[in-house]
Amino acid sequence: MQRGLVLVLVVALVATPLAGAALADGAAGVDAASAGPIQDRTGPAQDSAGAEVKTGIEPTERTGEATGQRAATGQTQTIQKDITLHLTPDEPGAVDVDVAYDIPESVTSLRVGVPGDARDVESTAFTRTDGAYEWDGETDPATLSLTLPANQSASGARSPAVTQNGKYSFVDPGPWAMVTVPGFRTEWSWRSTEDIDVTISEDAAVAGEGSTGGEIAFLGPQETYTRTANAQTIRLTVPEAATLAASPEEILDALAAASGRFNVGARDEEVWFAAAPTDADWGIRGVEYGGTDAWVLADASLDDAGNVWFHEYVHTRQDFRTESSGRWTTEASAEYYSALLALRTGYVGFEAFETYLSYGERSPWRDAVLADPTTWPSGANYVKGSLVWGELDRQIRVATDSSHTMADVFYLLNQHDDRTTNDDVLDAVREISSQSVRDEASRYTTTTDVPEMWTRTEHGAAFGTEPPQMNFEVTEYRVSGPFRNETYERPPSLYVGETVSVESVVTNDGEQTGEYEAALELDGTVLAATGGELAPGDSDRVTLSHTFGEPGTYELSTGRDRMALGVREPARVEVQDLSVSPTTVSPGDDVTVTVQVSNPSDRYATGPVVVTLDDDDVASLDVALAASESTTRTVTVPVTSDGEHTFAAGDRTASVTASSGDDTTRTDTGIPGFDAGVAFVAVVLALLAALVGSD
């Protein structure tokens, strides 16, 4: 990773309309053209005053993935974008949207693309130019108001378990609405004579009654229930218009169990689920959108091998994207693990599990070639795909004596940076099992061959013992150093010079003894690590500590969970005032120098503050300040020679005069201006005068 000043910042959200949301089996189309052309910028420009001009663009995709804090060496300012959705009961099928930008002073231009099907766009801060909206450069906050269509058609091949006979995947019948949060692609430029970055942050909200996870929103009367499990917060929105097949507590119990049992890598800090009212023309029974948000029809049962709640939860744990040949894995894994989790948590028995997966043996799905989507009959990736994924899970368990499973393949795919191909899947199978299992995986994914559903006896032999499953729960982050000594539940922003101690509890929730490891790394170099071995059900408390000597993005790994820790350079304190006392002294006398320092930035700042006397360093003051904090420090410095002398700190100065002349001489007589010799003469003259007077 390269560190230092980034001259051109590309940080990038393509405008996505409410229409065209991603269904479970594919991504949405994106109306990129609605934002107008993006200008090609080849490097940093400068304005007429010589300040550097930088540019930023929002991310081009809304993936919903958990991302780490970007390390920065200078000050970071944030454009705050707030999207507010309004229900329009008198106009079913449409919602009103407000988007407001709170813009830092350094930003000189801002350009917003709105969805192409927006209507009634109003703004006093933006003017439409070349298909986008240009900010006037003055109004803050700058707002846009518009109306967007809410209804989206459900399309694409789906599983029988999640298919409805209706039409929509998102809908607004009037009294309530289940919609996607629209995207507004934003470009901006800013001027800086210092090392300043400008980023953008987005929040979404519902005006009035409603709830949103930031990607999907429910508009209307509702109640939200919350459960925290495995360091993950699960929010469940239950509309007043919805009649649940299971209670909110039962649904949260099920999702919490899935969160704990599904050990395939990092969990998002929060996921948002909504129970959709059934009185709408739904074409599907559930959908996950944006990586963290999902809705499921309220009448979906937990006692079902095709458990839609589990299916959509598995989608939130998928961090891999696929090429065409690997596309089958997205729905195959979600469908298989929804059935396996239902079995493992006791919602269904083996017979229901067996019946559900065995559909993959049947026509027309059996004739599909999974690595070639052009051969798929409707739902083949769900139906045949889940049976193939399950058979590979069984074979891996047998080949590795239950020390590995297809969940390990899922984990490896989550670590894959590029889009996943079927060859990547096959290579992952070989990495955690054997070449012979890879050969079977190739046969079932590149030909029309289909496995037979395994029997109860075969299931017991392969699935009877769960492999080691090390679950880490970070209990606290202790930060110490020049700025603070505090404890946090979530990773805070960190600064060079600070020490962090990460405390975790690791538990083996599997059924075999296994090893665990936790590490802190930078650019692949391990800076701190710990590990051990745990029997089933046992726990250890582990601590990782490190003092950060340089900025960067550090990676904390606890088992399969990975988290980015961003470490920044602190700001520099500023000298606000400098004074000296006294201002007139004799050579050799001490002068008290008082320095007032402050931190006008929005982050911690540190010294040292160097005090000079006639350009020579005479003191160094160690100062550490919180944002907007100030303090006063003093230091005593001797002045050793006659003349005018200048003390300085920062850009502040103060003068002192030192003189050994009569006007500054002090003697034992206590009389200013008299030295010892003069005093002796004065005493003699006084005695003579007294004698004369006595005669």
- Specify whether 60 is located in the same domain as 159: yes
- Give the per-residue pLDDT at 196: 79
pLDDT at 7: 24
The reply to whether 513 and 611 lie within a common domain is no
pLDDT in tens, 41-69: 233 344 444 445 667 777 644 433 322 33
Distance CA 231, CA 228 (A): 7
Domain boundary among 198, 224, 250: 224
Residues β-bridged to residue 635:
593
Same domain flag for 60 and 133? yes
Same domain assignment for residues 118 and 24:
yes
Higher pLDDT, 15 or 390: 390
* Residue 55 belongs to some domain of the structure: yes
| Residue 25 covered by a domain | yes
Same domain, 514 and 647: no
516 and 557, same domain (yes or no): yes
Pair 613, 687 in one domain? no
- Over 80: is that where the pLDDT of 694 sits? no
Asked if residue 343 belongs to a domain, the reply is no
**Residues linked to residue 562 through DSSP beta bridges, in sequence order:** 557
The full DSSP string for 552-570 is EEEEEEETTEEEEEEEEPP
Residues spanned by the domain of 683: 668-694
CB of 508 within 8 A of CB of 534?
Answer: yes
Does residue 603 carry a pLDDT above 90? no
105 shares its domain with 188? yes
Rounded (5°) CA angle 191-193-199: 50
Half-sphere exposure of 550 (CA within 13 A, CB side): 9
Query: Of 70-74, 93-97, 325-329, 436-440, which gets the smallest average pLDDT?
Result: 70-74
3-state secondary structure (DSSP) of residue 251: helix
Average pLDDT over residues 317-344: 97
Question: What φ, ψ does residue 350 adopt, rounded to 5°?
Answer: -65, -35
- Are the C-beta atoms of residues 189 and 107 closer than 8 Å to each other? yes
Helix axes 248-261, 328-344, angle to 10 degrees: 110
pLDDT at position 613, please? 96
End position of a domain, from candidates 224, 249, 270: 224
Q: Is residue 628 part of a domain?
A: yes
Identify the CATH number of the domain in which residue 599 sits.
2.60.40.10
Mark whether 597 and 680 lie in a shared domain: no
Q: 443 in a domain, yes or no?
A: no
Task: Mark which of 181, 203, 224 sits at the end of a domain.
Answer: 224
Q: Say whether both 202 and 58 belong to one domain.
A: yes
Residue 497 in this model has a pLDDT that exceeds 60: yes
Q: Which residues contact 10 (CB under 8 A, 6 or more apart)?
A: 55, 56, 57
Structural domain includes residue 431: no
Domain membership flag for residue 631: yes
The pTM of the full predicted model, rounded to 2 decimals, is 0.76
Integer Cα distance of 435 and 441 in angstroms: 10
The candidate with the shortest Cα–Cα distance to 56, out of 265, 155, 198, is 198
State pLDDT tens for residues 252-298. 999 999 999 998 988 899 999 999 999 999 999 999 999 999 999 99
The rounded mean pLDDT for the chain is 85
Please count the other Cβ atoms lying within 10 Å of the Cβ belonging to residue 361: 15
Q: Which residues contact 247 (CB under 8 A, 6 or more apart)?
A: none
684 with 543, same domain?
no
Q: How many domains does the chain have?
A: 4
Are 108 and 53 a contacting pair, CB within 8 Å? yes
Render pLDDT for 207-251 as a digit per residue (tens, 0 to 9). 999 999 999 999 999 999 999 998 899 999 999 999 999 999 999
User: Is residue 607 situated within a structural domain?
Assistant: yes
The pLDDT of residue 524: 83
The answer to whether 376 and 472 are in contact (CB under 8 A) is no
- 186 in the same domain as 97: yes
